[in-house]
Protein backbone atom coordinates (compact mmCIF):
# COMPACT_ATOMS: atom_id res chain seq x y z
CA UNK A 1 0.00 0.00 0.00
CA UNK A 2 1.08 3.57 -0.52
CA UNK A 3 -0.33 4.88 2.76
CA UNK A 4 -3.03 4.45 5.37
CA UNK A 5 -6.57 4.29 3.97
CA UNK A 6 -10.07 4.50 5.42
CA UNK A 7 -10.61 0.92 4.18
CA UNK A 8 -8.76 -1.65 2.08
CA UNK A 9 -8.40 0.12 -1.30
CA UNK A 10 -8.24 -3.23 -3.11
CA UNK A 11 -11.68 -4.17 -1.75
CA UNK A 12 -13.31 -0.74 -1.43
CA UNK A 13 -12.96 1.62 -4.42
CA UNK A 14 -14.25 4.51 -2.29
CA UNK A 15 -11.39 4.19 0.24
CA UNK A 16 -9.42 7.39 0.69
CA UNK A 17 -5.82 7.81 1.77
CA UNK A 18 -4.91 9.83 4.83
CA UNK A 19 -2.11 12.35 4.31
CA UNK A 20 -1.49 12.64 8.06
CA UNK A 21 -3.02 11.30 11.25
CA UNK A 22 -2.08 10.62 14.85
CA UNK A 23 -1.36 7.30 16.51
CA UNK A 24 -4.51 7.82 18.60
CA UNK A 25 -6.63 8.34 15.46
CA UNK A 26 -5.20 5.21 13.83
CA UNK A 27 -5.98 3.17 16.94
CA UNK A 28 -9.47 4.67 17.47
CA UNK A 29 -10.42 4.11 13.82
CA UNK A 30 -9.03 0.55 13.97
CA UNK A 31 -6.99 1.14 10.81
CA UNK A 32 -5.46 -2.22 9.99
CA UNK A 33 -2.35 -1.14 8.13
CA UNK A 34 -0.32 -2.43 11.07
CA UNK A 35 -0.89 -4.06 14.44
CA UNK A 36 -2.60 -1.92 17.10
CA UNK A 37 0.13 -2.82 19.58
CA UNK A 38 2.75 -1.43 17.18
CA UNK A 39 0.81 1.85 16.92
CA UNK A 40 0.60 1.97 20.73
CA UNK A 41 4.34 1.35 21.16
CA UNK A 42 5.17 4.03 18.62
CA UNK A 43 2.80 6.42 20.40
CA UNK A 44 4.29 5.72 23.84
CA UNK A 45 7.80 6.32 22.50
CA UNK A 46 6.77 9.32 20.35
CA UNK A 47 8.03 7.66 17.15
CA UNK A 48 6.55 8.96 13.89
CA UNK A 49 5.69 6.42 11.18
CA UNK A 50 5.77 6.95 7.42
CA UNK A 51 3.64 4.44 5.50
CA UNK A 52 4.52 4.22 1.79
CA UNK A 53 4.98 1.70 -1.00
CA UNK A 54 8.56 0.50 -1.33
CA UNK A 55 7.70 -0.79 -4.83
CA UNK A 56 7.76 2.71 -6.34
CA UNK A 57 11.05 4.01 -7.79
CA UNK A 58 12.94 6.24 -5.33
CA UNK A 59 10.22 5.58 -2.73
CA UNK A 60 12.45 5.90 0.34
CA UNK A 61 14.02 9.15 -0.82
CA UNK A 62 10.62 10.62 -1.71
CA UNK A 63 9.04 9.55 1.59
CA UNK A 64 11.86 11.06 3.63
CA UNK A 65 11.58 14.30 1.66
CA UNK A 66 7.83 14.42 2.28
CA UNK A 67 7.08 13.82 -1.40
CA UNK A 68 5.16 11.14 -3.25
CA UNK A 69 2.26 9.12 -1.90
CA UNK A 70 2.53 8.34 1.78
CA UNK A 71 0.85 8.80 5.13
CA UNK A 72 2.58 10.33 8.12
CA UNK A 73 1.43 8.96 11.49
CA UNK A 74 2.55 11.21 14.32
CA UNK A 75 2.37 11.15 18.14
- Return the pLDDT at 25: 96
Domain ranges of the chain: 10-29+51-69
* Dist CA 75 CA 67 (whole Å): 20
From CA 74, how far away is CA 21, in angstroms rounded? Answer: 6
Distances (CA, A) of 74 to 14, 25, 42: 25, 10, 9
Give the pLDDT of the chain (75 residues) as one tens digit per residue.
899 999 999 999 999 999 999 999 999 999 988 999 999 999 999 999 999 999 988 999 999 898 989 999 999
> For residues 16 and 63, what is the distance between their CA atoms, to the nearest angstrom?
19
- Give pTM, 2 decimals: 0.88
Amino acid sequence: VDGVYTADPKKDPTATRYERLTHDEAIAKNLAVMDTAAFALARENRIPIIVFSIAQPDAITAALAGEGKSTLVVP
